Amino acid sequence: MNQQRVSLVTGGSRGIGRDIAINLASTGHDVIISYHTNRSAADEVISIISDLGQSAHAIHLDVSDLSSRNTFVTELRSLLSDQYDSDRIDYLINNAGTGLSKPIADISEADFDEMLGVHFKGVYFLTQAMIPMLADGGGIVNISSGLTRFSFQGMSAYACMKGAIEVFTRYCAKELADRHIRANTIAPGAVATDFGGGANRDNEKKRQIISNITALGRVGEVDDIGGVVAFLCSDQAGWINGQHIEISGGMLL
């Protein structure tokens, strides 16, 4: 008999998060996604997951905003109680995020604070709020970036926040181990999504450059990523903890 698992994917309405949500559903998870601006994209994901025979729900979240995070947590609690007769989620996938490409010289404090709020402070405090709601034996997967290992012009503020998340993940793995909650980071290389204005998908010059520096010779697609996260959220990955897994097809090896 399958045990019910309910997992939360932030930014599950589009791109990598959407593929993670669908892969989790394909492997038997009920899924709660958050969306920020695009409710209709979230509804589409709900419909795909329902067709897979799992339940899905969407809640609004601006991860960079404290009052939005508080409202989100309240709505999540009431959804869990109403739909699952529970106050627990099994897996938290911190995926939501936006990019920023600017040289160090041009980064304003507002730019820096935006990256901090979305990619580090928001993830840190959403995770803090979720820890009491995480089931013992569950897990956290944080989405970092290959840009913490290699460096692309203009990506300093974004990449620094992702680096911080990798450190935070290791601390989660350490502090939550007594509850058998695992925490891991995945670090995608360039993936063809709306991210960064869709350049990895639409800009042929950039795509060629990425292909040339990638051992497997192409740009990443969302379905290169979601299955790996679903694996990390499975019992087969039960001994993987505090790890960082780059999923880039071998960029800049």
Q: Does 143 bind ligand NAP (CB under 6 A)?
A: yes
Q: Going residue by residue from 158 to 197, which x/- string records binding to ligand NAP, judged by CB under 6 A?
A: ------------------------------x-xx-xxx--
CA angle 235, 240, 241 (to 5 degrees): 120
Contact with ligand NAP (CB under 6 A) among 23, 49, 76, 97: 97
* Cβ pair 199, 155 in contact under 8 A: no
- The distance of closest approach from Cβ of residue 53 to ligand NAP in the complex, given in angstroms and rounded to an integer, is 23
What 3 state SS string does 165-220 have?
HHHHHHHHHHHCHHHCCEEEEEEECCECCCHHHHHHHHCHHHHHHHHHCECCCCCE
Residues 60-89 that bind ligand NAP (CB under 6 A): 61-64
Q: Give the residue carrying structure tokens 């709306």.
A: 194
Cα(145)–Cα(248) distance, rounded to whole angstroms? 9
**Number of residues in contact with ligand NAP, rule: CB under 6 A?**
31
Tell me whether residue 123 or residue 181 sits nearer to ligand NAP (CB atom). 123
From 35, 84, 158, 171, active-site residue:
158
- Closest residue to ligand NAP, based on beta-carbon distance: 15
User: Radius of gyration of the chain from Cα atoms?
Assistant: 17
Q: In degrees rounded to 5, what are phi and psi of residue 5? A: -125, 135
Contact with ligand NAP (CB under 6 A) among 145, 169, 184, 185: 145
The span of 6-14, 51-59, 84-92, 167-175 binding ligand NAP (CB under 6 A) equals 6-14
SS3 14: coil
Active site residue 171: no
**Residues lying near ligand NAP in the complex (CB under 6 A):** 10-11, 13-17, 34-38, 41, 61-64, 95-98, 118, 143, 145, 188, 190-191, 193-195, 200
